Chain A
Amino acid sequence: MSLLRIEALGLSIHGHEVLRDVSLHVDPGEIVGVIGESGSGKSMTALSVMQLLPRGARCEGRVMLAGQDVLSLRERALCGLRGQAVGMVFQEPMSALNPLQTIGAQVAETILIHERVGRREAMMRAAEALERVELPPERVALSRYPHELSGGQRQRVGLAMAIALRPRLLIADEPTTALDVTTQAEVLKLLKRLVQEDGMGLMLISHDLGVVAGMAERIVIMRQGRVVEQGRFGTLAHPYSRALLEASDHVPARPAHEGQAPLLRVSEVVRAYPGKRSGWRGRAAPVRAVDGVSFDIRQGENLGLVGESGCGKSTLARAILGLEPVEDGRIELDGQPVFDGHGVNRAVRRRMQVVFQDPYGSFNPRWSVARLVAEPLYLLDDPPKDAARKAAVAEALTSVGLKPEDGARYIHEFSGGQRQRIALARALIIRPDLIVLDEAVSALDVSIRAQMLDLLADLSTRLGLTYLFISHDLSVVRNVTDRVLVMQDGRIVEEGATAQVFEAPRHPYTRRLIAATPRLPVSA
């Protein structure tokens, strides 16, 4: 008998349909992956099982858990089930824990809520649970607060709370999305081990096919509130599933790049921040976010820069763009320094532009798209006016696949993918030589991401653009760059042709990164 059986589940929130006719099941000891792009309803399906839906939600159908229909249970009985029969882990380790309580107390709470035990015993069992998620109290004391832990450790605490009572079903909603790739690999391994040890069923929700493919026995593909298809990874045949699969590992068509003269030269750059205050006047040693970095970007090249969060790659990008002063070293574009004496060299700056990660934060919501796109024209000594300016905006918008009329609209009228195109149009308008793509496709759904990568490749060939492609996502970097730099703790630890670095990494850190990166099995 299935542990969890969802039958024809429908969900509407304030009359707005979110889920329709969703059916799936999870057996004991089985990992079921639920895959979908944003808005597919995968998280709402999970919350329906927990009955932790937002206000105004109405469910229909059946959700059978441990022989009872969850949808017909009263709140009292549901509280008895949650944490006891079914545990859940959420995406954001930073905000999922109460900042004011010790981790021991938070794990013990699961036990205290469901069983009549004393505080002391609950704490002992909390320690056991933490031990099982590989956070032994000798290393991380129960009396620690969440802010003293790393993201991966917090996610383990969240997991410990969920499994403290050994529930038969665990729901993990994007449990590793906010984590670095090496931490992700560890947490996934841990999840797998727990499932094997306890014979627990796991419903693993993710947007990342690579993560799920390596874990799940069965995969459920969702789209727009419905189940498209479910089955073993190799058997997926629905056109949407195939398209999703293709997009996840998309390689844009791009001619191989021949080495040429360097466009940007970074030599021995150091960017340090003052250390944390300690004691009355003292400060800890300065933190070197970028520590003696040197490299070249050649004309027309797509150079990848990969590394985990906090490695200094964004700081480096900002230094290149002249947004942050550097303590030491030189950054030169075509032989001209980015910083000249007191300020930023405008002549250099107008040859570089940037596209940021967040499609929502990158635009002033009160400006029209035309005004937004035209903003870099400010860098020109004699910016085009009126008709010329209008023509420039129209050309930029057209080149990214938008219409000139879109210039009159405002940013909130556009989707995330369209916004990244607008950001690209803004970068293109002053015809730069170098565009820094700072995680520019990381926030996009895979199918949109694939389109954006195609567009970037096309523009690079057509306009002879040079890209510095910064990303934490190794699989994307592998598919779109000529050369790659691997950064760790402010230093470049490995540099080489992309294919070469990925096939035969030399530095141990690169090897670790590549091994941790989830990959789609080739058999699909």
Chain B
Amino acid sequence: MSRTGLILGAVLTLLFTGAAILSLVWVPYDIEAMRIAERMQPPGAAHPLGTDHFGRDILSMIMVGARTSIAVALVAVGIGMGLGVPLGLLAAARRGGWLDEIIMRGNDLIFAFPSLLIAVMITAVFGAGAVNAIIAIGIFNIPVFARLARGAALSLWTRDFVLAARVAGKGRLRISAEHILPNLANLLIVQGTIQFSLGILAEAGLSYVGLGAQPPIPSWGRMLADSQTMISMAPHMALFPGLAILLTVLGLNLMGDGLRDWLDPRLRRDAR
């Protein structure tokens, strides 16, 4: 079961990343050219997913939109991992010390702020746009990774192989890098996939309220916002971008769950 999920998830993820990469070199139609004559056409031979209210090809826009979504979410995960994991490792290496206290209190503080609202504030105050969206989403990834890394690292620190490394004269930072981090890799991959999918959802939400990537860069969220007033006349305009988000997020989640089962030897043994 989990194997099928993993494969399905990987296929969906590849499909959308593939589309995003392909859009760099080729799209069926130019997405900046407006053809009012062809506006709001339902799916058909010329436009497989129909056209929008400016006559732009929805398939092409979804392909380019995938690029925006994936780029924003990926960089946001990068920020979260890049800052959160070292902080978490540091906190665990100095468990109970003042550094640990500060890092964890800081985390709790960020968690106490309503994430979506702060993302809205950041983008609204510093200007709407992809970069600010990345920062807004990325900030809330930091405590997620810090907490995860700290928790897992703490349990690794109690293991005898860490003690053996200390008997071999190694310091805390070296042990963190050589022994703790490699054993966190699986966990981080899995959480990374999940945060990636949450990032896609968050980016869609922000651009839906007009705070994500700005025109003319297409984004799935704004395509949905544009379609809202025309939903009864041209439901396909709302359907396909939404499906794109749904399938991408679903793919990433399935892949994350599948990876977890596949990478975790404990679960693998149970499944047998």
In the complex, the answer to whether B161 meets A363 with C-beta atoms within 8 Å is: yes
With contacts A361-B161, A363-B161, A364-B161 known, is A350 near B183, CB below 8 A? Answer: no
Report whether over half of chain B's contact residues are helix, strand or loop; otherwise say mixed: helix
In the complex, the answer to whether A346 meets B167 with C-beta atoms within 8 Å is: no
Report whether over half of chain A's contact residues are helix, strand or loop; otherwise say mixed: mixed
A-B contacts besides A323-B167, A379-B169, 17 pairs, CB < 8 Å: A318-B163, A344-B169, A346-B169, A349-B167, A356-B160, A356-B164, A358-B160, A361-B160, A362-B161, A364-B161, A364-B165, A365-B183, A366-B183, A375-B165, A375-B170, A377-B168, A379-B168
Chain B residue nearest to A379 (CB atoms) is: B169
In the complex, the answer to whether B182 meets A349 with C-beta atoms within 8 Å is: no
Q: Closest CB-CB distance, B49 to chain A, in whole Å?
A: 46
In the complex, the answer to whether A14 meets B164 with C-beta atoms within 8 Å is: no
Chain A residue nearest to B180 (CB atoms) is: A364
In the complex, the answer to whether A323 meets B168 with C-beta atoms within 8 Å is: no
In the complex, the answer to whether A354 meets B164 with C-beta atoms within 8 Å is: yes
Q: Closest CB-CB distance, A101 to chain B, in whole Å?
A: 27
Please tell me if B179 contacts chain A, counting CB pairs below 8 Å.
yes
Please tell me if A321 contacts chain B, counting CB pairs below 8 Å.
yes
With contacts A364-B183, A365-B183 known, is A350 near B160, CB below 8 A? Answer: no
Chain A residue nearest to B179 (CB atoms) is: A364
Chain B residue nearest to A411 (CB atoms) is: B161
With contacts A14-B272, A364-B182, A366-B182 known, is A378 near B160, CB below 8 A? Answer: no
30 examples of A-B residue contacts, CB within 8 angstroms: A14-B272, A318-B163, A323-B167, A349-B169, A353-B167, A354-B163, A356-B160, A356-B164, A361-B159, A361-B160, A361-B161, A362-B159, A362-B161, A362-B164, A363-B164, A364-B165, A364-B178, A364-B182, A366-B183, A372-B161, A375-B164, A375-B170, A376-B168, A376-B169, A377-B168, A378-B169, A379-B168, A379-B169, A423-B164, A426-B164
In angstroms, Cα B163 to Cα A423, docked, is: 12
In angstroms, Cα B179 to Cα A314, docked, is: 23
In the complex, the answer to whether A321 meets B167 with C-beta atoms within 8 Å is: yes
Q: Chain A residues near B168: list those with CB within 8 A.
A: 375-379
In the complex, the answer to whether B170 meets A362 with C-beta atoms within 8 Å is: no
Task: Name the 6 nearest CB pairs between A and B, nearest first.
Answer: A362-B160, A356-B160, A376-B168, A379-B169, A361-B160, A366-B182
**Among residues 347 to 383 in chain A, which have CB atoms less than 8 Å away from a CB atom of chain B?**
349-350, 352-354, 356-358, 361-366, 372, 375-379
In angstroms, Cα B167 to Cα A426, docked, is: 11
Cβ-neighbour of B167 out of A354, A357, A363 (below 8 A): A354
Q: Chain A residues near B163: list those with CB within 8 A.
A: 318, 323, 354, 356
Number of interface residues of A (CB under 8 A): 29
In angstroms, Cα B168 to Cα A321, docked, is: 10
Number of interface residues of B (CB under 8 A): 17
Q: Chain A residues near B160: list those with CB within 8 A.
A: 356-358, 361-362
In angstroms, Cα B163 to Cα A323, docked, is: 8
**Among residues 30 to 78 in chain B, which have CB atoms less than 8 Å away from a CB atom of chain A?**
none
In the complex, the answer to whether B164 meets A323 with C-beta atoms within 8 Å is: no
Q: Closest CB-CB distance, B66 to chain A, in whole Å?
A: 35
Please tell me if B3 contacts chain A, counting CB pairs below 8 Å.
no
Please tell me if B166 contacts chain A, counting CB pairs below 8 Å.
yes
- As a 0/1 sequence over residues 127 to 168 of chain B, the CB contacts with chain A under 8 angstroms (1 = contact) are 000000000000000000000000000000001110111111
- As a 0/1 sequence over residues 247 to 272 of chain B, the CB contacts with chain A under 8 angstroms (1 = contact) are 00000000000000000010000001
Chain B residue nearest to A356 (CB atoms) is: B160
Q: Chain B residues near A376: list those with CB within 8 A.
A: 167-169
Q: Chain A residues near B272: list those with CB within 8 A.
A: 14
Chain A residue nearest to B171 (CB atoms) is: A343
Q: Chain A residues near B167: list those with CB within 8 A.
A: 321, 323, 349, 352-354, 376
Chain A residue nearest to B181 (CB atoms) is: A366
In angstroms, Cα B161 to Cα A357, docked, is: 11
Q: Chain B residues near A321: list those with CB within 8 A.
A: 167
Q: Chain B residues near A357: list those with CB within 8 A.
A: 160
In angstroms, Cα B164 to Cα A365, docked, is: 13
Chain A residue nearest to B166 (CB atoms) is: A323
Q: Chain A residues near B178: list those with CB within 8 A.
A: 364
Q: Chain A residues near B183: list those with CB within 8 A.
A: 364-366
Chain A residue nearest to B164 (CB atoms) is: A362
- As a 0/1 sequence over residues 181 to 212 of chain B, the CB contacts with chain A under 8 angstroms (1 = contact) are 01100000000000000000000000000000
Cβ-neighbour of B169 out of A318, A350, A363 (below 8 A): A350
In angstroms, Cα B161 to Cα A354, docked, is: 11
The CB with the most chain B CB atoms within 10 A, among A14, A361, A365, is that of: A361
The CB with the most chain A CB atoms within 10 A, among B160, B165, B167, B169, is that of: B167
In angstroms, Cα B161 to Cα A412, docked, is: 14
Q: Closest CB-CB distance, B182 to chain A, in whole Å?
A: 5
Q: Chain A residues near B265: list those with CB within 8 A.
A: 412
Q: Chain B residues near A361: list those with CB within 8 A.
A: 159-161
Chain B residue nearest to A349 (CB atoms) is: B169
In angstroms, Cα B168 to Cα A14, docked, is: 43
In angstroms, Cα B158 to Cα A303, docked, is: 27
Chain B residue nearest to A375 (CB atoms) is: B168
In angstroms, Cα B164 to Cα A356, docked, is: 8
In angstroms, Cα B182 to Cα A318, docked, is: 26
**Among residues 421 to 439 in chain A, which have CB atoms less than 8 Å away from a CB atom of chain B?**
423, 426
- As a 0/1 sequence over residues 318 to 343 of chain A, the CB contacts with chain B under 8 angstroms (1 = contact) are 10010100000000000000000000
In angstroms, Cα B167 to Cα A379, docked, is: 9
Q: Closest CB-CB distance, B48 to chain A, in whole Å?
A: 47
Chain A residue nearest to B159 (CB atoms) is: A361
**Among residues 106 to 162 in chain A, which have CB atoms less than 8 Å away from a CB atom of chain B?**
none
Q: Closest CB-CB distance, B75 to chain A, in whole Å?
A: 28
Q: Closest CB-CB distance, B179 to chain A, in whole Å?
A: 5
Q: Chain A residues near B164: list those with CB within 8 A.
A: 354, 356, 362-363, 375, 423, 426
Q: Chain A residues near B182: list those with CB within 8 A.
A: 364, 366
Chain A residue nearest to B185 (CB atoms) is: A366
Chain A residue nearest to B158 (CB atoms) is: A361
In angstroms, Cα B170 to Cα A372, docked, is: 13
In angstroms, Cα B170 to Cα A362, docked, is: 16
Chain B residue nearest to A364 (CB atoms) is: B161
Q: Closest CB-CB distance, B250 to chain A, in whole Å?
A: 29
Q: Chain B residues near A364: list those with CB within 8 A.
A: 161, 165, 178-179, 182-183
In angstroms, Cα B182 to Cα A412, docked, is: 16
Chain A residue nearest to B272 (CB atoms) is: A14
In angstroms, Cα B183 to Cα A321, docked, is: 25
In angstroms, Cα B164 to Cα A357, docked, is: 12
In angstroms, Cα B170 to Cα A55, docked, is: 44
